[in-house]
Homo-oligomer: A and B are copies of this chain.
Amino acid sequence: MNIKPLGDRVVIKMIEVEEKTKSGIVLPSSAKEEPQMAEVVAIGPDIENDEKKSKQVKLGDKVIFSKYSGTEVKLDKEEYTIVKLNDILAVIE
């Protein structure tokens, strides 16, 4: 099963980051509030066909995106988020 975003949308997948609580317990990021880092897994045609926009994000990029933006979808037991390019704030290298 394959997901193709429309227009200037991007499909991203949250990155699980392990983190210790103050008491030393390791929590997977899904137990914390508002994880915001994600990996780009699909890019819409309006980005691919635009020279300036296509430079900004590439497949596999790690990105930070705007809180509360986007729509979450579940496909084949995987959770994805579909956001607009404009909701991606920065790329982490």
Contacts and interface: CB of A to CB of B under 8 A. Distances in A.
A71 to B, nearest CB: 6
Given A64-B82, A82-B64, A5 B90 contact: yes
B73 A64 contact: yes
A23 interface: no
Contact of A2 (B36, B64, B86, B93): B93
A92 B7 contact: no
Contact of A89 (B9, B56, B57): B9
A91 interface: yes
Interface of A: 1-7, 9, 11, 36, 42, 45, 55-57, 64, 66-67, 71, 73, 75, 82, 85-86, 88-93
